[in-house]
Amino acid sequence: MAKKYVAAIDQGTTSTRCMIFDREGNPISSSQMEHEQIYPHPGWVEHDPMEIWSRTQDVIRGALEKGNVDPNDIAAIGITNQRETTVVWDKNTGKPVYNAIVWQCMRTQDFCLEWEKEPGANEKVNQKTGLVISTYFSGPKIKWILDNVPGARERAQKGELLFGNIDTWVIWNLTGGPNGGVHVTDVSNASRTMLMNIKTLQWDEEMLNFLGIPKSMLPEIKPSSHIYGYTVPNGPFRASIPISGDLGDQQAAVFGQVCFNVGEAKNTYGTGNFMLLNIGKTPSLSKSGLLTTVAYGLKEGEAVYALEGSMAITGAAIQWLRDNLRLFDDAADSEWFASKVKDTGGIYFVPAFSGLFAPYWDMRARGCIVGLTRYIRKEHLIRATLECICYQTLDVQRAMEADSGVPLTELKVDGGAVRNNLLMQLQADLLGVPVVRPKVNETTALGAAYAAGLATGFWTSLDELKQNWKVDKRFEPTMSKETRDEMYRGWKKAIERAKGWID
């Protein structure tokens, strides 16, 4: 009998989710659990990889149970994950040698600042990997573990340790762990390590030597849609099912939003914002502060590339208002408060909590609120926070237009914060183009499911996937160009205040 479903595991920064989709791409069951955020020092962020594996198993069982799904009806499994987050573990015991170092973690700042000073270093990194020198990527995080965990370097050199981003860690465990687990990653995740050559799609010897990372630790690089291995029947799926999709979360959203053509873009509004523009099969480098990254690869040795604007703090700024300033209890209330004022009263909030990412890449920047007068109330600050998400997106959009020469005609959006209608309207107004929200907002999980289903013939073509995409709501711009330009001018001034704060 034909199988009915595809499952996706979305292992994110704050939570892990398992979703099961039918052939039309409708979610039929979902289970989600949070995991602990570990902050050992200011600016450091870790996760416990064993907790992540345990939550992964819980949500798989939860999704099967909630939807009353027979595992034998699942045709394929896709994995998508928080990118760059780094795990190093012992291949014989399956035990991590250290906590996972999360993408936001800034512990490698001193090393990166020194490295950046070397003449030509940033250009070289950019040309080889499409990235820039930043604490954000995996390479320096692996180096930190090898330098700081007693005995790690020796064990790595003896071939006892494995590295993986979270996709690799989850696939290795689902396929048997120390008993035959498959050690793989896909091109989209590998493009975020700072260790893969963006043109050859192979690990780059020079980057590995420079960072002192033994090649034996690294997973094999495979296409994003490919049968990597099978789940073990004594695992949470209770069946042998092909794992056949693997994409970094932002690239999975590109896939789930069916941005398969050159010039199509999506922006995801989560903890951070990530805007990706499909640029086709040539990895052109950015002149405007964007990253060049692999969007997805469907065949061995081939890739479709994207320009990426990564914004570290967007939804996280809303969380900060909620948790640190206690301005409201629920992120969704930000919409109500912001709607109580007609503007921000002239203030700007630059949430450069972990430096500024695209297009500025300033590790020394820190957050600021400027333009304060006694008139300002909490509603103004909340509105300024929504606006700062839009301005960051506008910065990235302008960089994308400068690089590609192609004006954006509309923006597909997804992620937790797009439920905020005021935010979406502000975004359309500030961009001056329509913002389009799809019916299935869980595009990250959907993209991983699509990649998995394509590899096993559950879906047969990209065109078939395009048929599944449906509009929920379209936000049309209504603001005049003069108002928009005037507001944006203030933002650019505020950015200058945030830059270079740390000596």
Q: Which residues are annotated binding-site positions for ADP?
A: 13, 17, 271, 315, 416, 420
Name which of residues 422 to 461 contact ligand ADP (CB under 6 A). Answer: 423
Q: Which is nearer to ligand ADP, 184 or 446 (CB)?
A: 446
Q: Which is nearer to ligand ADP, 88 or 316 (CB)?
A: 316
- Count CB neighbours of 467 within 10 A: 11
Q: Which of 197, 278, 286, 420 binds ligand ADP (CB under 6 A)?
A: 420
Q: Which is nearer to ligand ADP, 236 or 416 (CB)?
A: 416
Q: Which of 331, 370, 376, 433 binds ligand ADP (CB under 6 A)?
A: 331
283-322 mask for ligand ADP (x: CB under 6 A)?
A: --------------------------------xx-xx---
**What is the rounded CA–CA span in Å between residue 355 and residue 133?**
13
**Which residues neighbour 481 within 8 Å (Cβ) at sequence distance 6 or greater?**
432
The yes or no reply on residue 273 touching ligand ADP (CB under 6 A) is no
Choose the stretch contacting ligand ADP; rule: CB under 6 A; options: 7-15, 104-112, 356-364, 465-473: 7-15
Determine contact, residues 344/385, Cβ cutoff 8 Å.
no
- Number of residues in contact with ligand ADP, rule: CB under 6 A? 19
The yes or no reply on residue 13 touching ligand ADP (CB under 6 A) is yes
Dig out the tokens for 274 from the structure: 């990530």
Task: Write out the DSSP string of 20-68.
Answer: EE-TTS-EEEEEEEE---B-SSTT--EE-HHHHHHHHHHHHHHHHHHTT
The yes or no reply on residue 33 touching ligand ADP (CB under 6 A) is no
Cite the annotated binding site by residue number.
13-15, 17, 83-84, 136, 249-250, 271, 315, 319, 416, 420
Q: What φ, ψ does residue 203 adopt, rounded to 5°?
A: -60, 140
The yes or no reply on residue 480 touching ligand ADP (CB under 6 A) is no
Name which of residues 338 to 357 contact ligand ADP (CB under 6 A). Answer: none
For the bound state, the minimum distance from the C-beta of residue 439 to ligand ADP, rounded and expressed in Å, comes to 16
Q: How far is residue 234 from each of residues 6, 52, 230, 239, 379, measured CA to CA in Å?
A: 20, 19, 12, 7, 53
Residue that the structure tokens 């602990």 belong to: 36
Q: Which of 78, 355, 416, 438 binds ligand ADP (CB under 6 A)?
A: 416
For the bound state, the minimum distance from the C-beta of residue 262 to ligand ADP, rounded and expressed in Å, comes to 26
Choose the stretch contacting ligand ADP; rule: CB under 6 A; options: 273-281, 350-358, 414-422, 455-463: 414-422
Q: Is 479 exposed, middle or buried (0-12, 13-18, 19+ CB in 10 A)?
A: middle
Half-sphere exposure of 399 toward its Cβ, with a 13 Å CA cutoff? Answer: 27
Give the torsion sign (CA, 155, 159, 162, 163): positive
The yes or no reply on residue 14 touching ligand ADP (CB under 6 A) is yes
The yes or no reply on residue 80 touching ligand ADP (CB under 6 A) is no
The yes or no reply on residue 332 touching ligand ADP (CB under 6 A) is yes
The yes or no reply on residue 419 touching ligand ADP (CB under 6 A) is yes
Name which of residues 243 to 272 contact ligand ADP (CB under 6 A). Answer: 270-271
Cite the annotated binding site for ATP by residue number.
13-15, 271, 315, 319, 416
The yes or no reply on residue 12 touching ligand ADP (CB under 6 A) is yes
Q: Is 324 exposed, middle or buried (0-12, 13-18, 19+ CB in 10 A)?
A: exposed
**What is the rounded CA–CA span in Å between residue 125 and residue 140?**
12
Dig out the tokens for 201 from the structure: 């799609």
Q: Which is nearer to ligand ADP, 278 or 334 (CB)?
A: 334
DSSP-derived 3-state class of residue 377:
coil
**Which residues neighbour 202 within 8 Å (Cβ) at sequence distance 6 or greater?**
196, 221
Residues that bind ligand ADP (CB under 6 A): 12-14, 270-271, 315-316, 318-319, 331-332, 334-335, 415-417, 419-420, 423
